[in-house]
Amino acid sequence: MFDIHNILKELSKIRPVFHSEADFQHALAWQIHQRNPNYNIRLEKPEKSKNNQIHLDLIVYTPHQKIGIELKYKTLSLIPDKSIIQNPDCYINNESFQLKNQLARNHGRYDFIKDIHRLECLILEGKITKGFAIFLSNDKNYWRNSGRDSMDKNFRIHDKHILKGTLYWNIKKDDNTQKLGKRLCPISLQNDYKLNWRDYSDLSKINCINNQFRYLVVEIKKPRP
């Protein structure tokens, strides 16, 4: 049985934080391999879809399934609490981490939902049997609902929210949409998805701000008729 939550739980014990999305991708692939040595795992493998070619972050070949996995890793800096320590770097297990402030949350939300849509398409076309879209972050703005009437309010992914139907940008008369580029297109989902965020790691012992990491897993199965 492929239990992604147990895999992430085990991974969090040895890798509570990652330098980048690529670092997360490789670490997760290795953890899956260690747990299931008989599985074949591929990174960035292209899959032909009807209209384009999709490069999945991970493909896991089990004896009975072909599982596609897409990852998002969005961070805020691990800012040292200078009232407690004077060290300008944050160290975890004697390794220095300097995470970036990735503040384009509207893009982050849209791209994650786009991952769900792409996995749905691959399942419909019989390219994979199951999919997982995984979002890992230490930015609480993703799992908390601001309640603001923002341009990206229909793409929110906060805890307990339900994603469904066709999602459009909440565009008002004076909004500048040029920066959205290709992201301006709506996204249609075949299934409904209730979003449940879970704790991944707590780095409060290193006395840094933005020290709580949480993750969201959306399991994608064959869409309903």
For the stretch 91-113, pLDDT in tens is: 778 888 888 889 889 999 999 99
- Per-residue pLDDT at 5: 97
Query: Taking the CB of residue 115, how many other CB atoms lie within 10 A of it?
Result: 25
- Per-residue pLDDT at 48: 82
Helices 4-14 and 21-35 cross at an angle (nearest 10°) of: 110
- Per-residue pLDDT at 82: 58
Range in 10-14, 144-148, 192-196, 210-214 the model is least confident about: 144-148
**Percentage above 90 pLDDT, the chain:** 68
Q: Report whether 128 contacts 137 (CB < 8 A).
A: no
- Per-residue pLDDT at 161: 97
- Per-residue pLDDT at 173: 77
pTM value > 0.75: yes
Residues 168-172: what's their mean pLDDT?
90
- Side chain identity at residue 156, one-letter code: R
Q: What does the mean pLDDT of the chain come to? A: 90
User: Could you tell me which of 4, 136, 125, 134 has the C-alpha nearest to residue 62?
Assistant: 4
- Per-residue pLDDT at 224: 66
Residues 54-64: what's their mean pLDDT?
94
When pLDDT is cut at 50, 70 and 90, the band that residue 86 belongs to is very low
Q: Report whether 44 contacts 55 (CB < 8 A).
A: yes
